[in-house]
Structure formats: structure tokens, C-alpha cells
Structure 1
Amino acid sequence: MPFALLALALGAFAIGTTEFVIMGLLPEVAADLDVSLSTAGHLIAAYALGVVVGAPLLTAAATRLPRRTALLLFLGLFVLGNLATVVAPTYEAVLASRVLAGLPHGAFLGVGALVAAHMAGPARRATAVARMLLGLTVANIVGVPVGTFVGQLMGWRSAFLVVAAIAVASLVSVLAFVPEVPSPKGVRLRGEIAAMGRPQVLWGLLTAVLGFAGVFAVFSYISPMMTEVAGMSPAGVPVVLALFGTGMTLGSLVTGPLADRWLRPTIYGSLASLAVVLLLFSVAVQHPVSAMAAVVVLGAVGFGVTAPLQVLIINKASGAPTIAAASNHSAFNLANAGGAWIGGLGISAGLGYTSPALLGAGAAVLGLAVALIAGVLDRGNPDSAGEAGTDSDTAGEIDAEAGTDGAGTLPESAAEMSEHR
């Protein structure tokens, strides 16, 4: 399993690099394409749009495919999208290429999370998913800063050529090390869509959209915040991005095991901490040293909620989790676009570069409120008897083979038992 998880994490690394590296290269992109900085910022939203659209659609199209086969197809499309960015001659063509590159993002991470959870077993699902998602966090320690440096030195397009090469390496690794996991027997597209409509799945997706918007309200404008408010030089921006990734990694390492024991409390604690950190960020960013420390903490508390929310949604879509797991990444990218929009509102209104942090804190509080409401409702009214305690990657298989209606008699997983404590 370690090599299989590493192969999946490498794909996540490529995805994380291409998603975030453009934020450090916006001035170069704007200058090369002869557009304004705000217009270049639309490329961030274009990628997010690709994720939002592609996650459910591509996952639905691949419902009956063996999961390793689906992962290979998603990686192939991702490579094409990034190569298209490298050769696109105009702003409009780059915009289209970013949508194309974003299409397989959520589908790969969603199916990859299911494969990781399947290999780890019920008691270590959150830890396995967190380990796979370490690829995203390490991308911000290594991939994004190095990509930003390479893009500044050799032209911004070279960063996406490097991403395409990493994705090819992931494709080869998945083919070599990830076992062929068949789609659960008896699970059909209709069941996957029905699982998406379960109230607790929808509550979880809304939590991701609102809570995570607070992170991206700040991160979308991290470069001008560091240069205009903290007084750092542009050469220091890659260091700041690496610090953010370090925080992300620390948060994922801590919250994965915590979520295996206390799933919902981990989500509550992460969102509450995020709101507090964002409030303090507007003050800390006034000085270079405190700004860098705040960036690390923001990465830790912000991305600490990623794996727990992913596992919660897998649990709540038990028996047909594929589209729901992928749609969680659509939710996070809606948060990406929404956070950039929220932060931009404050800047455009003349409230200064610290205003995105304050507005982001409000979004995190809304996310926490939704999570708490969902927890209260779930305590007295679970969506279905079949959700509690099955290994969501295998429950559909077992139920189909046994001829049950999904109510199931399997013992609860550690993560699911703990969330009801």
C-alpha cells in the first residue's frame, strides 16, 4: 500500500501545483498576455470552474469503470490540459486550457480517496485519505514555490510544462503500483445521484464551500498582501508559498488520525480555529516575521478540515460514494472561486489588502454554523440506516452481493462511531 498511496499522492502533487502556482505568477501572466492583473485572475476561476463541472460529470461517466482505469484516464486528460496551457497563444486560449486542466481534478482526487480508503480499511480511512492528500500540501511546499521560481526565471509557461511531466510520472506510477479496484457490484449511476441528494451529503458540501472560502479569500491575494502590506520583496513570495504548504502538511498529518477517532469534533475545531486565525491574520500581516508565522498557521487550520470532510461525505454517501466524493472537490473549488470573489470585493471597495482576511473569517464562521447544524440534525435523524458504519468503498459491493437494500449489518467504523459520540 505505501507505493500505491505514493502514486496517488504524486497525482495530487501535480494537481496541487497546477492549481496554486498561477497565484504566484499572476503578474508575469498578465504582462505576457497583455491583460490586467484582475483579468489574469480570471484564470484561477476558470480552473475552479473546470473542477466544479468536471468532478461530477467525469465521475458519472466512469462509474462502471475499474477505478484504476478511471484514474489513468483522468491523469491523461490532466496532462493534455496542462500541455494546452503551455502552447496556448492567446488569453482566451489559456482560459480554455485552464478549464480543460481543471476537469479531471475533482474526479481524480475523489476516486483516489475511495481507492486509498479501500486499501486502508474502515479503521484508518481518514489517515489514508489524509496521506494521499499530502500530495496537495507538499505541492505548496515544493511544487508551487519551485514552479513560481521556474516561471519567473524561464517564463510562466514553463511551470505548466513541469506539471505535465509530473503528471506523466504519476500516471506511470498508478499503472505500476495501484491495484485494480473494481467498481462496487450493483451500484449504478442512479444510486450515485441518489446518494448525492442525501441531506448530510449536501450539508457536508455546503460546509466545504463556506468554510474553505475563508482560506481562499486570503490565499488568492497572498502575493500583494506580502509585498504591499508586509513589505516583502517579490522574491520572497515563493518562500511564503512554501510556508503555507508546510502548514498544510502539518495540519493534514494531525487531523487525519484525529478524524479517525473524532470526526465531527475535528471538523468543528478546524473551522473554529480557521475563523480565529483569519481575524488575527489581518493584524499579523503588518510585519514580515509575524506574517510568515501567520501563513503557516493559516495553512494548518485551513487544510486540516479537508480530509475529515472528505471522509464524512464518503460515510454519508455509503454504498454509492463515487460522485459524492468527487463533488466534494467541486465544493472546495467553488470555495476557491468564491473566496477570491469575496476577497476581491473588499479590495475593490477600498478596504485595503487586509480586508480579505476579515471577510474570510466571516465565511469560516458560516461554515462552522452549517457544520454544527448538520451535526445536530444527524444525531437525531440519520439519512439512512445504511450509512452508519459501513466501509463506503465496499458496502455497495457487499450489499449487492448479499441482495440487501443497503441497511447493512456491518459493524461501525472507528470514524463513524466516533462522530456520533
Structure 2
Amino acid sequence: MNLKVLILAISTICVGLVELIVGGILPQIAQDLNISIGTAGQLITVFALIYAFSGPVLLALTAKMERKRLYMLSLFVFFIANVMAYVSPSFTMLMAARILTAMSTALIIVLSLTITAKVVEPAHRAKALGFIYMGISSSLVLGVPLGIMISEAFGWRVLFLGIGVLSIGSMALIYFFLDRIEPDQLTPLREQIKALANPKIAGAHLACLFMLAGHYTVYAYFTPFLESELGLSPYWISIFYFLFGLSAVGGGAFGGALADALGSRKSIIMIITSFMLVLFVLPFTTFYMFLFMAVMVIWGALSWSLAPPLQNYLIQVDPDTSDIQQSFNNSALQLGISLGSAIGGLVLEQGGSVSSTAWVGGGVVVISLVCAMYSLTRPALSARWGK
């Protein structure tokens, strides 16, 4: 594997941990800062929203900066924000720290993606992007159990200090092993945003958004699903989460390798279609735990396998705005997570069973498939934009 890609993947794991690690320590934060758990939960909601919208904006504002320098600066801000979270005496200061970490994380992740696309050969680009998404997915799925385990032993504040220390290690690796990367020729922000109006690009982003929305319609409520449908104890639930996490981590690499082997377009359709079918089948497998486990592993692997071929597709479609489009796609991913969690909650509030979230999630993925097919069948941008 390319050493630079490995270092960038390690960096994404480091910064990605900060997003959902809060999910498992909300009671401790609420008790320590004398707030309700609901209020503490806003630390996750606000992070996701700031992350989704700040990535494209910050990338555009820093378009003229040398990329290694910008990466180092972003990691430094990330470190300072985590120190703020560690020492925060109030919810207000902790929220300010979360906003800073969301902004810096969004920029670091998109820089990792864009730099990776530049330092590898086009023939291996999708596979390399897959390794970056392995880092992103592993940090998201492992953050909660890791946070619970460490906070029980040392308290919740040490989590942020530990993540800050890890970011210093990432800064050292980036400083010594990453070459200077000059920014590409600047495309006016208006033109970059204008590209979003093109059906080919918009359809690709929407495919990502609805794929993740369908996934989180179910996954956000996975614990009650396992409790009510399989009657699992906390011990077995932890095992299922661990297996799901392992499969999700491998999903990014699988998607990248598949795209390099079959092409991004075929991979996109295959992954979304397979994912849709798995969600529809999932409720019918709960009569036998090990059958459900096998299907769940496939579900986990597919859940994070779309991003690499989709990112590679966006680069192929419009190289001139590929950096900002990768950032928009990462934002679509975050919005999909938020939307899916909301849809699943609505299903349960309306009296639906936990198992019905899988069917609703599958229906949402149908929308993703329609968006992907629409994008793939639109004329090339050169025909529309005169490039």
C-alpha cells in the first residue's frame, strides 16, 4: 500500500473518533455539567450539522493554500479544540469546542480524500479512496464502544485529551512523510457550486445521501432491534456490534477494490442494489440467530462500500471541481446519517415495529438507486458545459 495513503487513513481514524464517541458518554457528560441527557445529545446533532456544511465552505475559502500546510493547520486547530473540551467547565465551552472540532474534522477528512486522489495512479484511485473510508468507517463504528470502555476507567474528559494527543502524532507523520502539494488551478466558487445543479453530479450526491439514510433508518435503532427481534442479552448485543463494526471497516476497502476491478459505474449499481435487497431480507432472518448474523455481516460491509466508487465517479465526471465535489459528497453522507436517524425515529413514534425500520430503510435505498441510475444515464458534462 502507498505509505502516504496509509498515513492519511490513520489521520482520518484519529479525527473521526471525535464525532460519535460522545454517544456512549452522554450520561457522564450530563451529570458532570449538570444538564439533561437531551441537552447533552445536542453535542452530536450540532457536530453533524456543522460538519456537513463547513467542509465545502472551508475548502473553497482555503483553495489557494498549499495542501500540506493547510492539513497541518487543521490538525493544530483540532488539537486545540480537544484540549478545550478536556478542560471545559461548562456546556457552552464544550459546545464551542465541538463546533471547532467539527469544522477542522470536515476539512481534514476532505483533504485526506483529495490528497489521496492526487498521490496515486488513476487505475488504483478507487482502492486508495477505499482505504480512507476504512479509516472513516472504523472511527465511526468503533468510537462508541471505545468511548464507553475508556470513560468508565478514566472519566469522559480523558477521551478528548487522548484524541488530541493522537492528532499530534498525526501531525508528525504528515510533516515527515507527506510532500508539499500545491493547490490545483482555482475554479471560481460560483462555478464549483454551479456544478451541483447538473443532474449528473446532483444525482450522485443524492444517491450517497439516501443510501446512508436507508442504512441509519435501521442502524440508529439496532440495539432495540436486536433486543425485540432476537431477544439478545447485552453480552450478545456487544458481540453483534463488534462483528458489524469489523464488516463495516472492511466495506470501504471492498468498495474501492470492486470499483478498480469492474469500474465505478457498475460498482455503484451493484452495491446499492445489493444493499437494498439485504435490508428487505433482514427481518425474515431473525428466526435463526446465525443466519441473521451472516446477513448482518453483508449489510455491514455494504453500508460503507458505496463511497469509494462514488467518489471516483465524481472525479471522472468533473475533474475541474473534484475537490469541492468530494467535500459535498462527504456532507451528503453526514446529512444522510441525520436523515436516516430521523426517519427511523418517526417510524417508531408512529407505532411501527422495530423490524419495520428495515423495510422502510430498504424503501429509502430504492430512492438512492433511482438517483444513481438517473446520474449514470445523464449526458457527460462536456456536452452540457462546453468543456
Whether TM-score is above 0.5 comes out as: yes
Cα deviation for residue 386 of structure 1 reads: 10
Q: Which residue of 2 aligns with 1:357?
A: 358
Cα deviation for residue 370 of structure 1 reads: 0.7
User: Secondary structure of 1:23's match?
Assistant: helix
Q: Tell me which of 377, 381, 384 is aligned to 1:383.
A: 381
In 2, Cα distance between the equivalents of 1:29 and 1:303?
Answer: 30
Task: Check 1:293–1:167 CA distance in 2 against 1; reply closer, same or farther (3 A cut).
Answer: farther
User: Secondary structure of 2:72's match?
Assistant: helix
The question of whether the paired residues in 2 share the 8 Å contact of 1:271 and 1:302 is answered with no
1:96-123 C-alpha deviation (Å, 9 max, x unpaired): 4333322233322222212111111221
Cα deviation for residue 13 of structure 1 reads: 0.6
In 2, Cα distance between the equivalents of 1:355 and 1:37?
Answer: 27
Indicate yes or no: 2:346 matched with 1:345: yes
Superposed counterparts of 1:53-202, under 5 Å: 53-139=53-139, 144-202=144-202
1:151-204 C-alpha deviation (Å, 9 max, x unpaired): 233333333332222222212211111111111135444443344443322211
Superposed counterparts of 1:24-35, under 5 Å: 24-29=24-29, 32=32
Task: Check 1:2–1:141 CA distance in 2 against 1; reply closer, same or farther (3 A cut).
Answer: farther
1:183-234 C-alpha deviation (Å, 9 max, x unpaired): 1135444443344443322211111111111122223233444455544444
Task: Check 1:334–1:143 CA distance in 2 against 1; reply closer, same or farther (3 A cut).
Answer: closer
Task: Check 1:232–1:306 CA distance in 2 against 1; reply closer, same or farther (3 A cut).
Answer: same
Superposed counterparts of 1:210-225, under 5 Å: 210-225=210-225
The question of whether the paired residues in 2 share the 8 Å contact of 1:54 and 1:105 is answered with no
Identify which range, 148-157 or 198-207, moves more after superposition.
Answer: 148-157
- Give the number of equivalent residue pairs: 386
Superposed counterparts of 1:246-261, under 5 Å: 246-260=246-260, 261=262
Indicate yes or no: 2:49 matched with 1:49: yes
Task: Check 1:256–1:188 CA distance in 2 against 1; reply closer, same or farther (3 A cut).
Answer: same
Cα deviation for residue 328 of structure 1 reads: 1.0
In 2, Cα distance between the equivalents of 1:15 and 1:282?
Answer: 35
Superposed counterparts of 1:275-314, under 5 Å: 275-284=276-285, 289=290, 292-314=293-315
In 1, Cα distance between the equivalents of 2:281 and 2:325?
Answer: 34
In 2, Cα distance between the equivalents of 1:322 and 1:170?
Answer: 22
The question of whether the paired residues in 1 share the 8 Å contact of 2:210 and 2:368 is answered with yes
In 2, Cα distance between the equivalents of 1:38 and 1:295?
Answer: 30
In 1, Cα distance between the equivalents of 2:152 and 2:234?
Answer: 10
The question of whether the paired residues in 2 share the 8 Å contact of 1:9 and 1:135 is answered with yes
User: Secondary structure of 1:132's match?
Assistant: helix
- Tell me the amino acid that sits aligned with residue 14 of structure 1: C
- Tell me the amino acid that sits aligned with residue 339 of structure 1: G
The question of whether the paired residues in 2 share the 8 Å contact of 1:17 and 1:143 is answered with yes
1:240-271 C-alpha deviation (Å, 9 max, x unpaired): 44322211233222221221232122111111
Identify which range, 52-61 or 162-171, moves more after superposition.
Answer: 162-171
Cα deviation for residue 316 of structure 1 reads: 2.5
The question of whether the paired residues in 2 share the 8 Å contact of 1:232 and 1:288 is answered with no
Superposed counterparts of 1:399-414, under 5 Å: 407=387
5+ residue gaps, structure 1:
388-405, 408-421
1:77-102 C-alpha deviation (Å, 9 max, x unpaired): 33333333333344454444333322
Structure number with higher helix proportion: 2
User: Secondary structure of 1:56's match?
Assistant: helix
> Identity, % of aligned pairs?
28
Identify which range, 259-268 or 238-247, moves more after superposition.
Answer: 238-247
In 2, Cα distance between the equivalents of 1:123 and 1:7?
Answer: 20
Task: Check 1:231–1:36 CA distance in 2 against 1; reply closer, same or farther (3 A cut).
Answer: farther
Task: Check 1:73–1:188 CA distance in 2 against 1; reply closer, same or farther (3 A cut).
Answer: farther
In 2, Cα distance between the equivalents of 1:235 and 1:143?
Answer: 18
User: Secondary structure of 2:381's match?
Assistant: coil
User: Secondary structure of 2:320's match?
Assistant: coil
Cα deviation for residue 372 of structure 1 reads: 0.9
In 2, Cα distance between the equivalents of 1:228 and 1:22?
Answer: 25
Q: Which residue of 1 aligns with 2:317?
A: 316
In 1, Cα distance between the equivalents of 2:142 and 2:167?
Answer: 15
Task: Check 1:285–1:33 CA distance in 2 against 1; reply closer, same or farther (3 A cut).
Answer: farther
User: Secondary structure of 1:134's match?
Assistant: helix
In 2, Cα distance between the equivalents of 1:36 and 1:285?
Answer: 35
Task: Check 1:212–1:116 CA distance in 2 against 1; reply closer, same or farther (3 A cut).
Answer: same
In 2, Cα distance between the equivalents of 1:205 and 1:48?
Answer: 17
Task: Check 1:341–1:143 CA distance in 2 against 1; reply closer, same or farther (3 A cut).
Answer: closer
User: Secondary structure of 2:50's match?
Assistant: helix
Task: Check 1:358–1:308 CA distance in 2 against 1; reply closer, same or farther (3 A cut).
Answer: same
The question of whether the paired residues in 1 share the 8 Å contact of 2:216 and 2:341 is answered with yes
Cα deviation for residue 373 of structure 1 reads: 1.3
Q: Which residue of 2 aligns with 1:273?
A: 274
Q: Which residue of 1 aligns with 2:9?
A: 9
In 2, Cα distance between the equivalents of 1:354 and 1:178?
Answer: 47
Q: Which residue of 2 aligns with 1:335?
A: 336
The question of whether the paired residues in 2 share the 8 Å contact of 1:106 and 1:328 is answered with no
Identify which range, 76-85 or 59-68, moves more after superposition.
Answer: 76-85
User: Secondary structure of 1:320's match?
Assistant: helix
The question of whether the paired residues in 1 share the 8 Å contact of 2:269 and 2:369 is answered with yes
1:13-68 C-alpha deviation (Å, 9 max, x unpaired): 12332223333444555555566655544333222111112111111111011111
1:260-302 C-alpha deviation (Å, 9 max, x unpaired): 2321221111111222222233454677655544442222111
- Tell me the amino acid that sits aligned with residue 253 of structure 1: A
